[in-house]
Structures are given as structure tokens and as C-alpha cells.
Amino acid sequence: MAPSGSRSIKRSCQTVLYWIPVIFITLIVAWSYYAYVVQLCIESIDNIGQKIVYLLAYHVVFILFTWAYWQTIFTKPMNPLKEFHLSYSDKELLEREDRGESQQEILRRIAKDLPIYTRTMSGAIRFCDRCQLVKPDRCHHCSVCDKCILKMDHHCPWVNNCVGFSNYKFFMLFLAYSLLYCIFITATDLQYFIKFWTNGLPDTQAKFHIMFLFFAASMFSVSLASLFVYHCWLVCKNRSTLEAVRAPAFRHGADKNGFSLGLSKNFRQVFGDEMRYWPFPVYSSLGDGCSFPTCLVNQDPEQPTSPGHNPTPNKTVVGESHQFPAKPLRESQSRLLNSAPSWTENGGAEDKERRGTSNPAMAIENET
């Protein structure tokens, strides 16, 4: 068999395997719908008013949960813009150079016109050999998707998708509504679960659905609660999962709070400025995913100020005054920098953390 045919079969098998966790979750949710709506509400609850209230509340949560799950799965991860890709001449020039320092000189020349402020731990330009591009800030290469993903958080097998800039809000809402879904089922099923053990339910197949529904919902609640709390903490700190494992490195060194703008601005960067969109899985995040406002106290000398651009005053430290950013920001990013609350929000605690930052251990990352 030709090598191309073998690779095609391998990719097809991998695609099927990657969808197995999603199919598993879908089957669990479909069964829970049948068990709750048919076996519990219709077959087991006698009170008409209680039955109507339970069914209405359940379907509101169920719709929001499935909507958020759908968006997380099928929202395509965003990739770097063409400006970050190497031109054909730059690729040839890079391939001709054998020495690492010469290659870095070429990459520095390319990166000087891009809004890039992060580096590798050794201070080099972050470059992806697979995609042949200069990585934007917070961008990482996913070995599963085989693509560079903007503001990559992690590759989630339960949604068969990379969680990143384009769908992180959807992922947060998926965690929130799936947790609410499980808590609601556990709370409303509890009294009938107790009746199961006290022989208060008729001896029908409904009693077994009620029992297993309570066990499944309560167990999922525990795992979802821990994951949701962790990602809420990441949103408040404006970090991704990868950045929590390994702090992003700037020219002045690693800084785990380099992208943190304060609690309110961190939250709005993910959920947007308009409160009416916060509870719904519709896109409302701020920025373009390729550049992010930071609270750097050292301006990158390799990023010259663009002509005609008045930089936004940056956070200052005693005895110093620096300006950031050197490159023009998108409108949504400018709102983050200029709108209330001020830079000092949550600043004291984060500055204290920043002073104590040391190089963390190696990250566990799906990056080539």
C-alpha cells in the first residue's frame, strides 16, 4: 500500500478515536434527558404544579448547557494572521542559515514590526517550525490539531477541540451550565432517591433510572466543580492553563502576571463589555487574539513606536515611568487599557506575586 494511503487510513482512525469522548458525553446527556423528563417527571411525580416547574427549569438549563457544549465543539480555533507567517524569501533565507544566532537575527528582523513582547525562556523569538511562523503572544502549537492556536489554553478531548481565544468563553459557559445541570438534577432527584431506599417508589423501571441518575449527576458535579473553580481563577488572573504551568517570558524575564489587568478587565477580556451577552454562548470577547495589552514595566526596545501613535501610559513603578504599548492596539484593547477601573485594581497583591516570581518547572504542553 502506498505511504499516502497508509497515512490517510491512520488519519481516519485517529478522527474516529478523537470523537469517542464526545459521543460518550452525548449518550450520557441523552440518557439523562430520558431519565429525568420521562422516568422522573412524567412517571414518578404526581403533583402537576411541581412537575411543570421542574420541567420548565430543567429545559432552560438543558438548552443553555447543550448550546454552550455545541459552540465549544464546533467553533473553529483561530490561527495567527498571515502577517505572522514567513514569506517565501524569508523561509529560504532561514533555511540557508545553519547557525542559531544567525537565524535569530532573521527572526528578530521579522518580529520587529509585529506586536510581540513574549520570548522563549532563553530570550529567543518564539518560532514554530511546523507552521513556519513567528508565534504571536500566548499562541502555542497544538500537536493534536497540528496548528498554532491563538491564546491556546489546552486541547480538550471531551469537546475534541482546542480551547483557545475563539471559544474560551464558550468553554467557561459549558463548565458553568454543565455544573448547574448536574446540581439541579441532584437537588430535585434527592427526595426520590431517598424514597428508593425506603421502598417509597413503585417497583418499576423508573426507580433504577432515578437511582443511577442521582449517582451520575452527583459524581459529575464534584469533578465539574473543581474544574470550573480552577478556570474561574485563571480568568481572574488572565492566565491560560499553559501559562499557569509555565509563566510567559518577556525581555525582562518570566512574569506570571504579565497579562493581568485587574479583576474587572481580565473578566471583560473573555466575556466582553456588554453584560447582556455574558450568560449566552455568543462571541463577545475583546481583541483579535494576536496581541494583548499587558502590565509590563519594561518596554521592549526592539519594538519601536509606530509613527503618529501616542502610546497609552503604562503601569509605573517607583522611580520609573514607561510607556506601553509600542504598537497600536485594537479598539477593544484600548478600552481595556483606558476604561475604569484603574490599573491599580488588584495591583497590590499581583505586584507582590510578581516580585516573588521565579522560573517555574517545565510546562506540560501539546507543543512541538
- Active site (catalytic) residues: 156
| DSSP secondary structure, 272-334, as one string | -S-GGGTTSSS----S-SS------SS--TTSPPPTT--PPBPP--TT---B--SSPPPHHHH
Q: Grid coordinates in use for 275?
A: 453584560
CB burial class (10 A; 0-12, 13-18, 19+) of residue 104? Answer: middle
Closest CA to 28 of 72, 73, 76, 65: 65
Q: Grid coordinates in use for 338?
A: 483606558
Collapsed DSSP state (helix, strand, coil) of residue 337: helix
CA angle 114/115/117 to nearest 5° reads 115
Cα distances from 189 to residues 32, 158, 196, 333, in angstroms, run 12, 26, 11, 46
How distant is the alpha carbon of residue 255 from its chain centre? 19
Closest CA to 287 of 304, 266, 308, 301: 266
Report the C-alpha gap between 240 and 154 in whole angstroms: 8
Q: Which residue has the cell 501616542?
A: 310
Asked if residue 58 lies in contact with residue 37, where contact means CB atoms within 8 angstroms, the answer is: yes
Asked if residue 270 lies in contact with residue 172, where contact means CB atoms within 8 angstroms, the answer is: yes
Report the C-alpha gap between 169 and 175 in whole angstroms: 10
| DSSP secondary structure, 108-126, as one string | HHHHTTS---EE-TTS---
